[in-house]
Amino acid sequence: MNDVATIETDSESVQVQLLSREEANLISNFISQVGIWTANHGEKANHIEIVYYPEDDGFEVVNNEENNGLLRRNRVSVFRGELIAWATQQTQQLKGWDNARTITAFAVVYRDGQYGVLCKTADAKPAETMAESV
């Protein structure tokens, strides 16, 4: 979400946030899923933050549960598990079935009734470069 378009109307200029196709798809999926989580888990879903770290293929998850859904060593709540499963599915979809894309940034936030997303991908290593390294 980096670009803004300015639209001139008869009475004023209006700025509209431009989204990439990936960001638009991600925010649509996230809004729908937050509705499901809110219906199933109530106020636990009032605050959600998920950040993906590509360097170790892991997630940082913040939610409205006590201790962010970490119950004890090696145990997480069902809700936290659902958050991680959803995020994993989204990142796999962004990478593509053949891992043609790499994720350089991925974050979703739901807080105080507002949503935010950050999603950036790049082409994976070109095929000829991969063949040379083998």
Alpha-helical runs (H) found in the chain: 21-41, 78-95, 127-133
For residue 3, name the pLDDT band (cuts at 50, 70, 90): confident
- pLDDT tens for 79-128 read 999 999 999 999 999 999 899 999 999 999 999 999 999 999 999 876 55
Q: Return the structure tokens found at 131.
A: 């063949």
Count of alpha carbons within 13 Å of 7, Cβ hemisphere only? 6
For the record, the structure tokens of 132 come out as 């040379």
Query: Structural domain boundaries of the chain?
Result: 19-133
Structure tokens at 3: 């670009």
Cα gap 132→128, rounded to integer Å: 6
Whether residue 12 is predicted with pLDDT greater than 70 in this model: the reply is yes
What residues are paired with 52 via a beta bridge? Answer: 59
Residue 126 DSSP one-character state: P
